[in-house]
Amino acid sequence: MTKLVDLDEKAAEAIVEQLRGGSPPQHSASAYSAGYEDFLGSVRRRHLESDPVAGKIRFIHGSWGSGKTHFFRLLTEEAVGAGWLVSSVELSAQETPFNKFELVLFSIIRNIAPPESLGTIGASAPFGNVLRSALDREAGVSGDLPSAVQRLSERLFSDPAIDIDVKRVVRAYWETFAGESQDERVLEERRGMLLQWFAGESHKTTMRNEFGIQKAVSKENARTILTSLTALIQLLGFKGLLVLFDESEMTHSTMSKSNLKQAHNNLLYLLNETGQVPGLFLLYAAVPEFFTDPKTGVLIYGALAARIGTPPGHPPKALDKVWNLDAEKTTDPASYEDAALKIRRLYEIAYPGDQGRLLSVEDLRRRIGTVVEQHGPYERTSRWRVVIKETTKLLDLGIHEEELPEPAESYRETVSFLKKVGDD
């Protein structure tokens, strides 16, 4: 979790700058939000803190604007703090349809974020950084990379849960940092070639001749490669891999019958097999139609519907199979007001010379309370985004010593702006 007391002026300003633009930053969500603390604490205790003995899968039920993306950001911070590696995957009809699990796997690997990137606004996070960081930790202060590669490779090849070709790719990647001095451009090209194997973009003949790698990642082996990936991540020192699937585009509703059947089969496979993969934690977030649509929802597939169950009517509990965010009590205006006050504190840190010009705590609470009353919980644009943008606008006006618009007018301007910016 990001603590405000740990932020310096530059870090706070970087967060404020993204909030001001209408798109909350991918990281440090706990620095500007409130309302999920109890539930997140329960998830951390029951699913993240102890060493995993079995894989887990949970579903998130949430309407448009219920805060699924925002919740994912908060959960990412909790998971990283507990020692997990996290990948966030947005399911889409073209790039990551669930009926083509090999494309989903490529996206999982592409979106794995090294923990050190989470405190850096806009940082890139390729999987190669995870592998390199593990090598640097093994080398320690001595910096003896050849010995570190040898030790890591011995542990790697003794792990029966990791596919042999995954082992070969990873070892070859590490060896590019520990061999005799070569042209760095040649080494970078070699590293890129190896990482392309995880993206399904490598040339089979080249990989076989250069590295002894016998197969490519395909739809036939993608689900088992995910098992190997999880074991590899644990070997690198993490508790496991948390994958956050977000099906906000309702891709299931646009699939043909055959593709939908395959997508449901892949999901059923994960439900049946994830428990056999210690350290794999999958979260699948979807809108209500995913669960209830009579033509494309999971209820048309009896085995799948029985395994998932129906979304409960109560606020989410960590042990539920489906976490119903629509029933969460973050609709309490106090949660949004508390979030606004956190953002005000970010402004105090970011702009210490302007603290006296900021809108008062009392006035800010009152204005945000009005916004929450005006903006329904299930609007296309989430309440969180409206509250965040309205808060930054009011605080900026205070710094500039400009007159505040009437609440209703200000709210309309904020919603109009966010609609132009587009979905978060």
Percent of the chain with pLDDT over 90: 58
For residue 45, tell me if it sits in a domain.
yes
pLDDT bracket for residue 119 (50, 70, 90) = very low
pLDDT score of 280 more than 70: yes
Amino acid letter for position 417: F
- 128-142 burial code (b ≥16 CB/10 A, e <16): bbbbbebbeebbeee
Q: What is the pLDDT of residue 181?
A: 66
pLDDT score of 172 more than 90: yes
What domain range is 376 assigned to? 332-421
> Quick one: 216 exposed, middle or buried, by C-beta within 10 A (0-12, 13-18, 19+)?
middle
For residue 337, tell me if it sits in a domain.
yes
Same domain (yes/no): 216, 185: yes
Domain stops at, among 275, 297, 328: 328
pLDDT bracket for residue 117 (50, 70, 90) = low
**Mean local confidence (pLDDT), 382-391:** 87
Domain stops at, among 192, 207, 238: 238
For residue 91, tell me if it sits in a domain.
no
Same domain (yes/no): 106, 234: yes
> Over the stretch 13-44, which tens digit does the pLDDT of each residue have?
989 998 888 777 767 777 777 778 889 999 99
Our CA dihedral for 173, 243, 378, 94, rounded to 10 degrees, sits at 60
Same domain (yes/no): 53, 76: yes
pLDDT bracket for residue 122 (50, 70, 90) = very low
Distance CA 108, CA 226 (A): 9
For residue 302, tell me if it sits in a domain.
yes
| Sign (positive or negative) of CA dihedral 246, 244, 169, 142 | positive
Same domain (yes/no): 312, 337: no
Phi, psi of 223 (to 5 degrees): -70, -35
| 8 Å CB contact between 334 and 23 | no
Distance CA 94, CA 111 (A): 17
Q: What is the pLDDT of residue 258?
A: 92
pLDDT score of 121 more than 50: no
Percent of the chain with pLDDT over 70: 93
**What CATH number corresponds to the domain at position 295?**
3.40.50
**Mean local confidence (pLDDT), 254-259:** 88
For residue 52, tell me if it sits in a domain.
yes
Same domain (yes/no): 110, 229: yes
For residue 205, tell me if it sits in a domain.
yes
Same domain (yes/no): 56, 140: no
Nearest of 413, 404, 111 to residue 245 by alpha carbon: 111
Distance CA 19, CA 283 (A): 26
Higher pLDDT, 116 or 66: 66
For residue 118, tell me if it sits in a domain.
yes
Domain stops at, among 189, 217, 238: 238
pLDDT score of 123 more than 60: no
Q: What is the pLDDT of residue 2?
A: 56
Same domain (yes/no): 316, 338: no
Split into its structural domains, the chain has a count of 3
pLDDT score of 331 more than 60: no
Same domain (yes/no): 203, 246: no
**pLDDT-wise least confident of 85-94, 363-372, 379-388:** 379-388
CA distances from 260 to 266, 282, 344, 347, 375 (A): 10, 20, 46, 47, 35
**Mean local confidence (pLDDT), 187-212:** 90
Higher pLDDT, 264 or 334: 264
| Residue that has been written with the tokens 């603590």 in this structure | 3
Higher pLDDT, 198 or 2: 198
Strand order in the sheet with 112-113: 112-113, 85-90, 241-246, 280-286, 56-61, 322-324
> Over the stretch 211-252, which tens digit does the pLDDT of each residue have?
999 999 998 999 999 999 999 999 999 999 999 999 866 777
Q: Is 175 helix (H, G, I), strand (E, B) or coil?
A: helix
Same domain (yes/no): 122, 232: yes
pLDDT bracket for residue 107 (50, 70, 90) = very high
The chain-wide mean pLDDT, for the chain, equals 88
For residue 11, tell me if it sits in a domain.
no
pLDDT score of 419 more than 70: yes
pLDDT score of 306 more than 90: yes
Same domain (yes/no): 106, 222: yes
Helix (H) or strand (E) holding 242: strand 241-246
Q: What is the pLDDT of residue 233?
A: 97
User: Which residues neighbour 214 within 8 Å (Cβ) at sequence distance 6 or greater?
Assistant: 164, 165, 208
> Over the stretch 357-368, which tens digit does the pLDDT of each residue have?
999 999 999 999
pLDDT score of 424 more than 70: no
Higher pLDDT, 327 or 177: 177
**Mean local confidence (pLDDT), 331-344:** 84
Same domain (yes/no): 268, 226: no
| 8 Å CB contact between 322 and 60 | yes
Same domain (yes/no): 201, 121: yes
Show the tokens assigned to 115: 């923990």
